Chains A and B, each alone.
Chain A
């Protein structure tokens, strides 16, 4: 199967702290990874698309300087929430695809629950 690991699973920190979340594809090379944000009882909202070796593509309304994405290798993408504030508290989920074609499924990590005090 396709396994995607996300770490950490839960973060509680003070306002103003920067938080880094890692997303790894464990048994396949992911040309493309996606970062989502999900509020309780709501849908998955795409934040950005991450491609290995190139800059991430952010969705409209997502602050690039606030949510830094780095896709350093074919198996690792990171999301850094810089100077986090309570309104950034949410469930962040990554997903990875074997190929960039839309016919391939996305495989999701277990998500990171971020709570900013």
Chain B
């Protein structure tokens, strides 16, 4: 089942902050975050493995609330290069024979203006 991302789109000016949420109706074992620029392949940002885990990548960080079955991506002091579509991906289940396949959310379009 596809995770739900919100908001669908965000427009920022350089230096502003944004939060992108990813929610699932089923138990989450991990959450993967990717960014895709127009016409390009998605680029891996980070994986959160444990409930409550927080990670950072430059000025982009994320948290994972296992109990609430959701993850949030925080973009601080946004830069023009942050523009793109952000996807969260969730695995089918922990281990097993799912081969680590992911179901991606519908995406959040982030546009950063000068």
Contacts and interface: CB of A to CB of B under 8 A. Distances in A.
Given A43-B104, A43-B105, A46-B103, A105 B98 contact: no
Interface residues of B, number: 28
Interface residues of A, number: 26
Given A102-B30, A102-B91, A102-B94, A93 B101 contact: no
A108 B42 contact: yes
Contacts, number: 65
Contacts of A106: 32, 44, 89, 100, 102
Nearest to B105: A43
Contacts of A95: 42
A9 to B, nearest CB: 10
Interface in A8-54: 32, 34, 42-44, 46, 49, 51
**Pairs of residues from A and B, 10 with the lowest C-beta to C-beta distance, nearest first:** A102-B91, A108-B41, A102-B100, A105-B44, A100-B99, A44-B104, A32-B99, A110-B41, A43-B106, A43-B104
Interface of A: 6, 32, 34, 42-44, 46, 49, 51, 57, 93, 95, 97, 99-111
